[in-house]
Structure 1
């Protein structure tokens, strides 16, 4: 079975996430905040910093805390730095997560074309998937809500089955991967899993699943070093496409 993450592997959602996060943060911190819809109005340096820091995020609950580090001038050097900051604000996470999804849902409902346009696929993956003969042996395991990912596939004219998109919070992702393989009777040694978060791959590798870190997306030098430490292959877009064609 071919199992892949969505954001950071297939879909480059970082600009959409920035716009949503920017508005969620503004709504939480500024009474009477007026929603921003033009990404170009966000300072280019903030856009660049947000993309650089994106590698430390594992789920929707992390986006507003990440933006808080930027606004508060907190320097994040590595995953541990961010985890410590997020945990120190754990009491705010429910409100941050709710505000994030409220803003995303506003875009989906009232600015749908804008929202979809801010979620392009990396490289030539959209065309690669349009030409794919069957998705029978392919699954998406993602922290993105199923409806969100399905809408993006539809926008790209990719007939990907909705029930092949499995939504899971980051904390349960590794366990869900094993359950998915067991449910479909897929051999672990004959299955492959692709991620831009090396922590998930360290766990999947322990179970004999072919585990691969993608070199594009939001992968940091820290994650690549950890992948090398655990002998997890780092693959190119071309290699990813070649794997996909085998399934």
Structure 2
């Protein structure tokens, strides 16, 4: 039986730059938790630039939605986060509250989608020239998105960019199950792993995907720390540019 070649990719931090949307959602979720019913902020410009820069820097250590409010709390409480180990240790101290934080994060994202959808769409931008590249593709048969972002949110972003990406080729999974879900996709779709690729901005997932035999690439843009780059080098994981990503994508 002929196995299929597949281009698998993460969404946030690879195709989509959602960091400012996540900042706005996290800001509102934090303040709703502290003072329920407080007026929501809909102006990113009201958040100090230094805080915006710090949020973007810290974004490299996050793997899923449950991490955003802990990250915002670290900023508010002056926690020193300089490595993945630092963030993971801080995250662990908040474990009893994570379910509540995740629920609050999604509640505020949904509020934004319902009440300020145009704003929400505008601050979920695609990186580089990826919107045009995807719009011009004749087929999406060999593409699959594996993401910790809800499928409907991904589809809304694509629809806004007039990209007819098939819903069935977007797989949503929580961060803890992402590597296992990748393996399931490879097996269930009978993928030719030697001639397939997986692109990510989180090196931990790539260290595992390498073990599956699939070509694994760390993207150099998005939310990638120097620590992650060094880990990629240690594990012989290629680090690619947006141009190289587009070139690899064009072969599928």
* TM-score bin (small chain): over 0.9
Q: In the alignment, which of 217, 221, 232 is matched to residue 237 of structure 2?
A: 232
Q: 1:189 aligns to what SS in structure 2?
A: helix
Structure 2 equivalent of residue 24 of structure 1: 29
Give the structure-2-normalised TM-score.
0.97
In 2, the alpha carbon distance for the partners of 1:238 and 1:103 equals: 35
Q: 1:36-93 deviations in whole A, cap 9, x for unaligned? A: 0000000111000000000000000000000000000011010010000011010111
Q: 1:134-189 deviations in whole A, cap 9, x for unaligned? A: 10010000000000001100000001001111000111111111111111111111
Structure 1 equivalent of residue 147 of structure 2: 142
In 2, the alpha carbon distance for the partners of 1:220 and 1:176 equals: 25
In 1, the alpha carbon distance for the partners of 2:243 and 2:160 equals: 23
Structure 1 equivalent of residue 199 of structure 2: 194
Q: Which runs of 5+ in 1 are unaligned?
A: none
Structure 2 residue 174 is matched with structure 1 residue 169: yes
Q: In the alignment, which of 215, 219, 223 is matched to residue 224 of structure 2?
A: 219
How far 1:190 sits from its partner (Å)?
1.2
Structure 2 equivalent of residue 185 of structure 1: 190
How well do the aligned residues superpose, as a CA RMSD in angstroms?
0.7
Q: 1:212 aligns to what SS in structure 2?
A: strand
In 1, the alpha carbon distance for the partners of 2:102 and 2:159 equals: 26
How far 1:191 sits from its partner (Å)?
1.0
Aligned length: 247
The 5 A counterparts of 1:74-223 are 74-223=79-228
Q: 2:92 aligns to what SS in structure 1?
A: helix
Give the structure-1-normalised TM-score.
0.99
In 2, the alpha carbon distance for the partners of 1:76 and 1:93 equals: 18
Structure 2 residue 40 is matched with structure 1 residue 35: yes
In 2, the alpha carbon distance for the partners of 1:179 and 1:100 equals: 28
**Structure 1 segments of 4 or more deviating over 6 A?**
none
In 2, the alpha carbon distance for the partners of 1:223 and 1:62 equals: 18
Q: 1:80-112 deviations in whole A, cap 9, x for unaligned? A: 100000110101111110110000001111111
Structure 1 equivalent of residue 75 of structure 2: 70
Structure 2 residue 68 is matched with structure 1 residue 57: no
In 2, the alpha carbon distance for the partners of 1:31 and 1:119 equals: 26
Q: 2:144 aligns to what SS in structure 1?
A: strand
In 2, the alpha carbon distance for the partners of 1:154 and 1:163 equals: 15
Q: Which runs of 5+ in 2 are unaligned?
A: 1-5
How far 1:31 sits from its partner (Å)?
4.3
In 2, the alpha carbon distance for the partners of 1:156 and 1:190 equals: 29
